[in-house]
Amino acid sequence: MNKNEIKTEEDVVRLLPDKTEFEKKVLVAAFKIPRGKVSTYKRIAEKVGKPRAHRAVANALHKNPLHPVVPCHRVVKSDGSFGGEKKAAEARRKLVEKEGVPIENGKVKMSDEILF
């Protein structure tokens, strides 16, 4: 199975045999974020049952082997900014902007309409 054949959460999990259960849950949560929406590291941590593990969520997404099918670029900091190295953060900003997410002063303009 290659990235283009990923259609379900089960497909995502099947392609991640070397990941921990936590990492699999994080990547499945990111897989569910629709185009034009974003989530935050904190919201993902809460969704996977580890509400204080936002840094661990960021680390799991940083090692995402299934991008762009698992759209880790749609996960941002709670203030709407893009974490990580500047060049990579800029690339993620451009991707979400292209997907229709409103950007203001280099950050996602956070609202209930775009938060997943």
Q: Which residues are catalytic?
A: 72
Q: How far is CA 12 from CA 8, 85, 105, 112, in A?
A: 7, 26, 34, 27
Q: What is the DSSP-derived secondary structure letter of residue 109? A: -
Q: Residue 36 and residue 97: Cα distance in Å, rounded?
A: 8
